Structure 1
């Protein structure tokens, strides 16, 4: 089998019935909804996704590198894909623990955050990884929910809406 860079197919025996199970060993990741100063829009990235075979509109996200903690990956990814440094925003929501993406087929867990830009924060240039092609755009939340098919994006937007509803 051809070697993959990020996905490693594995097999294991089910601990109770001995059935052979297949899964992917994959490093965990972060995802962050970046909200505008006024709280009315979010910053989303559009990029090609092979699972959809088309472009996808998503929150900022990226893998946690070996030896890196999730907070360092958060700061790095928001800077790379969003152009904002940690001094430019407040973390207004952190999921209590990393959540399994699809526990039936991968080990990957996702650390989830919602960030709100501080007044006067200005976007710097993006620092994309080699081969990474994406474009960042500000969208109204309803608009992105209509356009996106990405679960982590839906989840974080809905959590943000719920937080706003509870604070009214």
Structure 2
């Protein structure tokens, strides 16, 4: 089998029953829902994904490089994929801990963030995509994004944002 760039197929023996378990050893990642200043739209990227063999609409996301902290990866990925810099937004939600994506299948944990653009006058800078990245970004209302996306992290972050808005309105 060819060497993988991002995935490390691995086996281990179950500590109790001796069964051989197969899983992917994979870097942790970040995902960020970027919300417009008025709170009505989100910034989403569309790109081809092999797991669905289709174009997927998702929040900004990316791998955490070795030695990099999750917030450092957040700032880097948001700048690369959206054209916004850390001065352009505030972090309005950050999970207390990284969450396992699929614990029976991969070691990857995901650090989740919701960002809000600080003011309407902030302009996006040109994207700074990695050499092999091919994505298109767009602002969508959240209902449209939910109907277009089948991506778990995108769905989850939109729902968290909606709950935050409800909680704020109830206060």
Q: Give 5+ residue unaligned stretches, structure 1.
A: none
Write out aligned runs for 1:1-168 (5 A). Answer: 1-119=1-119, 120-168=121-169
**Cα distance in 1, alignment partners of residues 29 and 134 from structure 2:** 18
CA distance in 2, matches of 1:58, 1:131: 18
Instruction: State how far apart, in whole Å, the 2-side matches of 1:121 and 1:23 are.
Output: 43
Q: Secondary structure at the match of 1:138?
A: strand
In structure 2, C-alpha distance between the alignment counterparts of 1:3 and 1:114, rounded to whole Å: 35
TM-score (norm 1): 0.99
User: In 1, distance between residues paired with 2:129 and 2:61?
Assistant: 12
> TM-score scaled by structure 2?
0.97
Q: CA RMSD in A?
A: 0.5
User: 1:85-124 CA distances to partner (integer Å, 9 max, x unpaired)?
Assistant: 0000000000110000000010000000000001122100
SS state of the match for residue 45, structure 1?
strand
Structure 2 CA distance for aligned equivalents of residues 165 and 141 of structure 1: 15
